[in-house]
Amino acid sequence: MSTFEPENYRILAVDDHVAILRSIQIVLEGDGFRVYTATSGESAMEWVKEHGLPHLAIVDLNMAQMDGFSFCRKIHESSDLPVIILTGESAVQIEIKALNSCAEDYITKPFNKELLLARVRRVLQRIGDFAYVMQAQVKIDTQFSINFVAHHAILSGQEVVLTADESKIIYILLRSSGKPVPPAILMQRLWPLENTDEGRLRVYVHRLRKKIGTAVADDHDYIQSKRGYGYFLQPRA
């Protein structure tokens, strides 16, 4: 996707108020986005399990049972899915918590339709290209596919069980479309609330490389690094 084309992006809106979901859907579909809705955090997780990750989620904080923070924690266990929080809460501390822990942006209700659309576009353009078809099993190349929610991959016909952090590393690198991701950025996306060092990241990447390398049928190295720049994913041509 060399230019920004809304029809290439799937957005999942999660809110327990059907009227708000309908309003979000009308605004975003009117601009060309593909919009899907869920009336609870639980049903949103079921949608993701069945259909795969969207490109962006718009999530209400105050939902019964699985609230917005709980949904974000669950979905971010194995991915770096961009989230915009949409809520009636206007307390500064809640906004800060959301931005520090799980959200790319935060919008209070009642929302301005043009503002919502502008922020959706800004987040997606900032996150960058994701040139892969988003579905339950994402096909990276002819030998490698991955289910981010289930934490498993298929490599050269073999099933490989991944940890949540390993799935998340692959997701972040996949989203960068071959551009190196600096270690500092990778650590920030993996562990946003933790103070950690690059040594920890190197251990995780080494283990993931070894796990993938054991399963591939040849010497192809999927996770590569460029000195001074960072890590990137190198699918087969």
Q: What is the pLDDT along the chain (237 residues), one digit of tens a residue?
A: 457 889 889 999 999 999 999 999 999 999 999 999 999 999 999 999 999 899 999 999 989 889 999 999 999 988 889 999 988 877 788 888 888 888 999 999 889 999 999 999 999 988 766 656 578 889 888 889 999 888 899 998 889 999 989 999 999 998 887 889 999 999 988 988 788 899 999 999 999 998 888 777 677 889 999 999 999 999 887
The helix/strand/coil state of 77 is: coil
Note the pLDDT of residue 113: 93
CATH code assigned to 143-233: 1.10.10.10
Note the pLDDT of residue 1: 46
The torsion of the CA quartet 108, 110, 112, 116, rounded to 10 degrees, works out to 50
Note the pLDDT of residue 221: 87
Burial class (CB in 10 A: 0-12, 13-18, 19+), 126: exposed
Note the pLDDT of residue 42: 95
Note the pLDDT of residue 131: 57
- Please report how many Cα atoms fall inside a 13 Å half-sphere around the Cα of residue 63, on the Cβ side: 26
CATH code assigned to 6-127: 3.40.50.2300
User: What predicted TM-score, i.e. pTM, was given to this entire model?
Assistant: 0.81
State pLDDT tens for residues 1-31. 457 889 889 999 999 999 999 999 999 999 9
Q: Where are the domains of the chain?
A: 6-127, 143-233
Note the pLDDT of residue 135: 81
Separation between Cα atoms, residue 104 and residue 119, nearest integer Å = 10
